[in-house]
A and B are shown apart, each in its own frame.
Chain A
Amino acid sequence: KAGVTQTPRYLIKTRGQQVTLSCSPISGHRSVSWYQQTPGQGLQFLFEYFSETQRNKGNFPGRFSGRQFSNSRSEMNVSTLELGDSALYLCASSLASVREDTQYFGPGTRLTVL
């Protein structure tokens, strides 16, 4: 079974631009979560989608948004990029069933904002 895939793997943008990152979950997984990883703040939860609905949201400004499609693929959008948005963005998928909540991660998208 194929793992979680993320595209693109690397992105370079300038301040003020917007960016869209994509995540395809493991087949059969309906939950997709997004995390931001930076050297200073570590790993922080952005949001989680399940069956096209955002169920949980972390403490990030409204510039960070996401969506999920009917095939469970998810996209994350960051508008009006700031230098501090430079980070590794990880997505993870899960069955999100009663006894199976394990999250499996993709390889990440490294975003650099200049």
Chain B
Amino acid sequence: AQTVTQSQPEMSVQEAETVTLSCTYDTSENNYYLFWYKQPPSRQMILVIRQEAYKQQNATENRFSVNFQKAAKSFSLKISDSQLGDTAMYFCAFLIQGAQKLVFGQGTRLTINP
């Protein structure tokens, strides 16, 4: 069975700072995807970034980037120049290719302070 672990229940940083959220996962599969979703107070789950396991290059999306360490089964999210609108719950998620069943971590509550 696949598991996803987010070891930081809560984090808080000042606006414009850089913050890194941690995620580790466990699987014996070779073909899978990893995602970061954010869930603001509105509860809408929004895709932040995705990474295909077969790609060695780390995904980036504007201020968001990941550090994907396949051997270590680690998938951290870095938010640069953090903004107030980044305040949300962040979920790391794992998907086996073709299975359409996301496995989520417990989430990290991120607060950006002015």
Per-residue CB proximity of A78-105 to B under 8 Å, as 1/0? 0000000000101010101011011111
Say whether B101 contacts A101, CB under 8 Å.
no
Considering only CB atoms and an 8 Å cut-off, how many residues of chain A contact the other chain? 26
Given known A102-B50, A104-B47, A105-B45, contact A43–B101 (CB-CB < 8 A): no
Closest Cβ–Cβ distance, residue A63 to chain B (whole Å): 20
* B65-114 with Cβ < 8 A to chain A: 91, 95, 97-107
- A99 (CB) vs chain B CBs: closest residue: B52
A42 contacts the other chain (Cβ, under 8 Å)?
yes
Say whether B43 contacts A88, CB under 8 Å.
yes
A56 contacts the other chain (Cβ, under 8 Å)?
yes
B33 contacts the other chain (Cβ, under 8 Å)?
yes
B25 contacts the other chain (Cβ, under 8 Å)?
no
CA distance A96 to B96 in the complex (A): 11
A48 contacts the other chain (Cβ, under 8 Å)?
yes
Per-residue CB proximity of B41-54 to A under 8 Å, as 1/0? 01111110010100
Say whether A33 contacts B104, CB under 8 Å.
no
Say whether A108 contacts B100, CB under 8 Å.
no
Given known A33-B101, A48-B101, A96-B100, contact A107–B44 (CB-CB < 8 A): yes
- A108 (CB) vs chain B CBs: closest residue: B43
Say whether A101 contacts B97, CB under 8 Å.
yes
Q: 17 A-B pairs, CB-CB below 8 angstroms?
A: A31-B100, A33-B100, A33-B101, A33-B102, A42-B104, A42-B105, A43-B91, A90-B45, A92-B102, A94-B100, A96-B98, A99-B52, A101-B33, A101-B97, A105-B45, A105-B47, A107-B43
Query: Footprint of B on A, CB under 8 Å?
Result: 31, 33, 35, 42-43, 45, 48, 50, 55-56, 58, 88, 90, 92, 94, 96, 98-99, 101-105, 107-108, 110
Query: Footprint of A on B, CB under 8 Å?
Result: 33, 35, 37, 42-47, 50, 52, 91, 95, 97-107
